[in-house]
Amino acid sequence: VCLVTGASRGIGAAIAARLARGHRIVFLNHRASEEGASEVQRAARDRGECIESVRADVADEGEVRRMIDRVAERCATLDVLVHNAAAPVALKPLFDLDWTDDVLPQLATSCRGFLNLVQAARPLFVSGTRIVVLLSDAIFHTPPARMGAYLTAKAALWGLTRAAAKELQPLGVRVYMVAPSLARTDLVLDLPERAREIVAAQHPTGRLVDPEDVAAVVEMLIADAGKYMHGANVVVNGGLAF
């Protein structure tokens, strides 16, 4: 039984679809885009797989509790929790960043969302539950300009996830981080196409990360292959740093 946050499109949708292909029951969380969620569900149903949509703003404690209650009505345990949701990134220079309008929404979805999820889902965790958190390669290597709010939230989420790895280990809960480089999704819609091409060319592979590349790594980590990788941060950047 898996719950993937922010799975109505982009990387989350690819993760949800991939997990469902392994005959798992997948709960697809999203905040607003009903259409995207229905599309992912429909495609899974056509393949004979099971994806159920559970809407909630992960930043809202009450909504997350109600979402987890819905999961608990169907399933006694949660085997895999993937915290993938992230607020849209508006490119803004540091001098123009507003704490309330720019930084807090990023922190709310990334960090408050993670806390809400872990605290609400605690009764469904069993020894062997896996948690995967999506970070960003940009916080570990050269960061792009004008993404201060997003980078702040991802760096804070890194700390929080490491705290979770430390504190949940005694429960037998495995925690992983996955940090992709730039992918072609809606996350940074105002990034010019030329900038995407330049970043793609910087990758030794000559292309940006594909959501499927990330989904494959998530599946590898939650499988037996990841058993001895508790607390690991796996960078998915096609060798960009080398």
Ligand X SMILES: NC(=O)c1ccc[n+]([C@@H]2O[C@H](COP(=O)([O-])OP(=O)(O)OC[C@H]3O[C@@H](n4cnc5c(N)ncnc54)[C@H](OP(=O)(O)O)[C@@H]3O)[C@@H](O)[C@H]2O)c1
- Shortest Å, Cβ 127 to ligand X: 27
For ligand X, the closer CB: 8 or 129: 8
- Does residue 117 touch ligand X according to CB under 6 A? no
Among 1, 2, 4, 12, binds ligand X (CB under 6 A): 12
Three-class SS of residue 77? coil
The residue range among 2-10, 16-24, 65-73, 194-202 that interacts with ligand X, by the rule CB under 6 A, is 2-10
Alpha helices for 169-231 (secondary structure H): 193-202, 211-222
Taking the complex as a whole, the smallest distance from the CB of residue 204 to ligand X amounts, in Å, to 17
Give CA–CA dist 219/2, Å, rounded: 11
The residue from 27, 150, 158, 176 that is catalytic is 150
Q: Does 139 bind ligand X (CB under 6 A)?
A: no
Q: Please, which residue, 48 or 145, has the CB nearer to ligand X?
A: 145
- Interface with ligand X (CB under 6 A), residue from 3, 147, 187, 217: 187
Please give the Cα distance from 89 to 174 (Å, whole number).
Answer: 29
183 binds ligand X (CB under 6 A): yes
216, burial (CB in 10 Å: exposed 0-12, middle 13-18, buried 19+) = middle
Position 180 contacts ligand X (CB under 6 A): yes
> DSSP string covering 98-126, please?
-IIIIIHHHHIIIIIHHHHHHHHHGGG--
Closer residue to ligand X (CB): 95 or 136? 136
Distance, CA of 188 to CA of 186 (rounded, Å): 6
CA 6 – CA 79 distance, rounded (Å): 18
Site for ligand X in 19-78 (CB under 6 A): 29-33, 57-59
Q: Taking the complex as a whole, how short is the minimal distance between the CB of residue 60 and ligand X, in angstroms?
A: 8
| Residue 148 within binding range of ligand X, rule CB under 6 A | no
150 classed as catalytic: yes
Single out the residue of 191, 169, 158, 188 nearest to residue 83, CA to CA.
Answer: 158
130 binds ligand X (CB under 6 A): no
**For the range 139-143, what are the long-range contacts, defined as Cβ-Cβ under 8 Å and sequence gap of 24 or more?**
139/179, 140/179, 140/233, 140/235, 141/237, 141/240, 141/241
Contact between 87 and ligand X (CB under 6 A)? yes
Residue 106 interacting with ligand X (CB under 6 A): no
How many beta carbons lie within 10 A of that of residue 122, not counting itself?
13
Per DSSP bridges, beta strands 174-180 and 233-236 are parallel
Task: Name the residues annotated as catalytic.
Answer: 150
**Residues forming the site for ligand X (CB under 6 A):** 5-12, 29-33, 57-59, 84-88, 109, 134, 136, 180, 182-183, 185-187
